[in-house]
Amino acid sequence: MKINKGVEWAGHACALLVPLWPDKGLSLSALAEFHELPEPYMAKQMQALARAGIVTGGRGRSGFYTLAKPPGEITLLDILLAVDGEEPMFRCSEIRQQGPCASKPKDCKVPCNIAAGFWRAEEAYRESLRQIDLATLSGAVAAQLGPDKVAKAGEWMGANARSRT
Amino acid sequence: MKINKGVEWAGHACALLVPLWPDKGLSLSALAEFHELPEPYMAKQMQALARAGIVTGGRGRSGFYTLAKPPGEITLLDILLAVDGEEPMFRCSEIRQQGPCASKPKDCKVPCNIAAGFWRAEEAYRESLRQIDLATLSGAVAAQLGPDKVAKAGEWMGANARSRT
């Protein structure tokens, strides 16, 4: 079970947009350039983020993107679900309703214990990601980078960011 | 991100072997029959469980399987990892080491905050599954089924279970 690789890219792209909120954003080509990623694939992630209401922008605006809401209101879970899809990881095919000792559908209103266990774990997973918002994440990234690298990134931002039009 | 469908099948097969521990087990064909599942695909899951030390048996013993250890020592996490693989769901490709503001590898000894967030969530997921052992699960399944269905399944077991040879 692997998370779509685009989730990592989308997460980094969103983190890059945090210091520009609320007035500024980056072009698709700048978003791709910052992490040396192929532009078409970066476009795919940005479109998924836009569909989920995490960023605004896209093709109609020449691939210029800004966060769509305050960084404190966007979580890693939002980014995961936007890019990787909303469906649960575990699918229950109700095999308890098959075979010589099959349960009747009417007796299967409560989820099977195996499915329930996996779904409970999945909720713990999601809850953990729900606790990490972009504002907190961005602060932690800056602290980890240290002042010199933050200044260098700030310089790059200054040269590449544009205002919302 | 989807869990391998075989995890559900393997979970049900293991649950079926719980009441037979420690002396008895089921043939591959009986394991497949109980949930009306195709035998070759059930074989694949049982082989994965055997490789992980969760069941004993397999081809060399005519496809006869028993649990390899007490049900209280086997968790849903063990079954997931056996069938779906041990690798983490989130892969970090260290894209912070790319582009115009790239970090140097020597400055990346601490995981990136985005990867760390996903890995922490994954540990919460695994910890939740680690709490559910087969003994507890089997008790919950029996309680959910009720006495009539447990008796019917017991009858089927009596007709199909064999002793370890």
State the Cα–Cα distance between residues A73 and A44, nearest whole angstrom: 22
Q: Does A23 touch chain B (CB under 8 A)?
A: no
B55 closest CA partner among B93, B106, B21: B21
Q: Does A94 touch chain B (CB under 8 A)?
A: no
- Say yes or no for a CB contact (<8 Å) between B33 and A93: no
Q: Which two tokens stand for residue B9?
A: 């099948």
Banded pLDDT at B156 (limits 50, 70, 90): very high
In this model, does residue B99 exceed pLDDT 60? Answer: yes
State the Cα–Cα distance between residues B63 and B41, nearest whole angstrom: 13
Place of tokens 């936007």: A82
Q: Nearest-CA residue of chain B relative to A35?
A: B99
In this model, does residue B61 exceed pLDDT 60? Answer: no
pLDDT for A22 equals: 94
Instruction: List chain A pLDDT tens, one digit each, 165 residues.
Output: 789 999 999 999 999 999 999 999 999 999 999 999 999 999 999 999 999 999 998 765 568 999 999 999 999 999 999 999 999 999 999 988 999 988 889 988 889 999 999 999 999 999 999 999 999 999 998 888 889 989 999 999 999 999 986
Q: Which two tokens stand for residue A34?
A: 């910052």
pLDDT for A162 equals: 92
pLDDT for B62 equals: 64
Model pLDDT for residues A44-83, shown as the tens digit of each residue: 999 999 999 999 987 655 689 999 999 999 999 999 999 9
Q: How far is CA A56 from CA A47, A53, A80, A119, A126, in A?
A: 9, 7, 17, 32, 24
Q: Does B144 touch chain A (CB under 8 A)?
A: yes
Q: What is the pTM of this model?
A: 0.94
Averaged pLDDT, B61-77 = 92
State the Cα–Cα distance between residues A34 and A161, nearest whole angstrom: 12
- Say yes or no for a CB contact (<8 Å) between B129 and A145: no
Sheet holding A64-67, edge to edge: A55-58, A64-67, A24-27, A162-163
- Say yes or no for a CB contact (<8 Å) between B129 and A144: no
Residue A160 CB-half CA count within 13 A: 25
pLDDT for B55 equals: 97
Per residue, what are the HEC states of A40-74? HHHHHHHHHHHHCCCEEEEHHHCCEEEECCCHHHC
CB atoms within 10 A of CB A86: 8
Averaged pLDDT, B44-68 = 88
ipTM above 0.90, yes or no: yes
Q: Which chain A residues in 111-140 lie under 8 Å from chain B, judged by CB atoms? A: 112-115, 117-118, 120-122, 124-129, 132, 137, 140
In this model, does residue B59 exceed pLDDT 90? Answer: no
Nearest CB to B3 within list A1, A85, A153 = A1
pLDDT for A2 equals: 87
pLDDT for B144 equals: 87
pLDDT for B56 equals: 94
CATH architecture, range B5-163: Orthogonal Bundle (1.10)
Closest approach of chain B CAs to the CA of A148, in angstroms?
11
Q: Which of B35, B77, B119, B156 to mutate to test the interface with A (most CBs of A within 10 A)?
A: B35
State the Cα–Cα distance between residues A152 and A160, nearest whole angstrom: 13
pLDDT for A62 equals: 64
Percent of chain B beyond pLDDT 90? 79
Could you please report the per-residue DSSP string of A89-142? S-----GGGSSTTPPPGGG--SPPHHHHHHHHHHHHHHHHHHT-BHHHHHHHHH
- Say yes or no for a CB contact (<8 Å) between B95 and A8: yes
Average per-residue pLDDT in chain B? 93
pLDDT for A69 equals: 97
Nearest CB to A1 within list B4, B92, B117 = B4
